Amino acid sequence: MSKDFSEIDINVLKKFNQPGPRYTSYPTAPLFSQEFTAEDFTREIISTNAGANASDISLYFHFPFCESLCYFCGCNMLVSRDRSLIREYNDYLKKEIDNLAPHISKKRKVAQMHWGGGTPSYLYPEEICDIGNYIRAKFNFSEDLEASVEIDPRGLTFEHLKAFRECGFNRVSMGVQDFNPEVQKAINRIQPEDITRQTVEWTRELGFKSVNLDLIYGLPFQTLEEFNKTVAKVIDISPDRIAVFNYAHVPWLKKHQVLIPEDKLPSPDERLNILKQTIESLTKAGYEYIGMDHFAKPTDELAIAQKQNTLYRNFQGYSTKAGCDVYAFGMSAISQFQNIYAQNLKMNKEYYARVEKGEAATNVGYRLTKDDHIRRETISNLMCHLQIDKRRIEAKFGIVFDEYFADDLKKLDVFIADGLLTRDAEKIAVKGAGKLIVRNVAMCFDAYLEKMTKGKPVFSKTV
């Protein structure tokens, strides 16, 4: 087991297990508002494409449809078996591309593309090729494109994966959650182990560079012993990356989660012991802890980027493509530029109506202040590199770090006292098992946290 996790103290984790953001952005999505309009977003697109040295771009496409409902799901999705609705959505996705693509300089190359959902692989192979080719024709793609897609092994065929490969995809991510049939039944996601193994074999055969498997702990009927069996099987499958998510039971936000038998959820102690055992098993098997919920083989690009301090984090998770403006298409999709965030309308009919007008589908957004930029950089350093280089922050923003964050630094004392953090004149560094509560450390630098959480549940727990 990695020395970083050789002395995980469950009592310490319990102490810090409180609601907090995942920091896929800063400021976080609850701060987005309708004061930021579609016109604001369009103006930002035009201004950021006017310069001669504009960055590469990243494309995100949201495909919301699923064949059935997974009770644990927290995504913006639609359950439907009506293929005409999927064709209609794809047509509007093309229209949105037509509305925005003319404003994006052809000199800017697409360095990264991601299809998420919902279930992108719920499309038929010919639909994958149709929309994939349409996108390829509208943008200028880099030769070393990183292209990833979320897939569901259930109902997947070799032809689906072949279609994705022909469209330029070289990475896939798929959910496993848990191989235990009792757990699968309780969350309404029956996915036998053999179809997961078959899917991974197909991806290898087709030459995909990277495979990620998702696990979720904290689901109904999970036990320490049984979940360890799932982890052992996943290690045997040998994906390049593994994500181990904490199930966020938030039925006040996701109404369908009332279908989860709450009295069958593992206790807080059991959840933390499952996490501890999973980390021990993965690190013993050679996987490196990247951050948050993610593990990767030492040869994976994420692990290499972390060692080289080039790791980046956005709404699609960890990435090696820092500095790209993210253009997001589809209902609820979130674009991210240097100075703004813009989220599309979440309901399909409202999204269609806006796209039909030829306008940006923006529903809410946010423009960053100077303080936001300083804090975003600081929090991003923690989330990606597990440390803050004070001098680098000072040089970039013209501040004296300890003076600027004087009040925030006091909040770090509790982590230092528990041996989870070190602080000196040059750096703040997360230590050992403190990596598991890096969200809590980042929260110390969040200027809006108290305002967002006052009197209402907003975030899932951090561990």
Are residues 45 and 4 part of one domain?
no
Q: How far apart are CA 227 and CA 362, in angstroms?
A: 41
Contact 456, 412 (CB under 8 A): no
Q: Which residue type occupies 186?
A: A
- Does the residue 332 lie in any domain? no
Please list the pLDDT of the chain residue by residue as tens digits (463 residues): 445 655 567 777 788 888 788 898 999 999 999 999 999 999 999 999 997 788 999 999 999 999 999 999 988 899 999 999 999 999 999 999 999 999 999 999 999 999 999 999 999 999 999 999 999 999 999 999 999 999 999 999 999 999 999 999 999 999 999 999 999 999 999 999 999 999 999 999 999 999 999 999 999 999 999 999 999 999 999 999 999 999 988 888 889 999 999 999 999 899 989 999 999 999 999 999 988 789 999 999 888 888 888 888 888 778 887 889 999 999 999 999 999 999 999 999 999 999 999 999 999 999 999 999 999 999 999 999 999 999 999 999 999 999 999 999 999 999 999 999 999 999 999 998 888 889 999 999 999 998 776 666 667 677 7
pLDDT of residue 44: 97
Are residues 121 and 8 part of one domain?
no
Are residues 285 and 421 part of one domain?
no
Are residues 66 and 2 part of one domain?
no
Q: What is the pLDDT of residues 360-415, one digit of tens each?
A: 999 999 999 999 999 999 999 999 999 999 999 999 999 999 999 999 999 999 99
Are residues 161 and 55 part of one domain?
yes
Are residues 65 and 20 part of one domain?
no
CA distances from residue 425 to 218, 223, 402 in whole angstroms, order as listed: 39, 44, 9
- Does the residue 365 lie in any domain? no
- Does the residue 241 lie in any domain? yes
With 0-12 / 13-18 / 19 or more C-beta atoms within 10 angstroms meaning exposed / middle / buried, residue 298 is exposed
pLDDT of residue 9: 74
- Which of 265, 292, 327 terminates a domain? The answer is 327
pLDDT of residue 60: 97
- Does the residue 417 lie in any domain? yes
- Does the residue 349 lie in any domain? no
CA distances from residue 164 to 75, 135, 242, 316 in whole angstroms, order as listed: 22, 13, 21, 18
20: domain CATH number is 1.10.10.920
Are residues 46 and 16 part of one domain?
no
- Torsion-angle region of 28 (φ positive above 0: left; ψ -120 to 50: alpha; else: beta): beta
Contact 77, 118 (CB under 8 A): yes
- Does the residue 204 lie in any domain? yes
Are residues 297 and 220 part of one domain?
yes
End-to-end CA distance of the chain: 20
pLDDT of residue 456: 63
Are residues 241 and 166 part of one domain?
yes
pLDDT of residue 190: 96
277 Cβ contact partners less than 8 Å away, ≥ 6 residues apart: 224, 227, 228, 231
- H or E stretch covering 268: helix 268-284
- Does the residue 163 lie in any domain? yes
Are residues 77 and 202 part of one domain?
yes
- Domain with 140, as residue range(s), is 29-327
- Does the residue 380 lie in any domain? yes
- Number of domains observed in the structure of the chain: 2
pLDDT of residue 250: 85
pLDDT of residue 1: 42
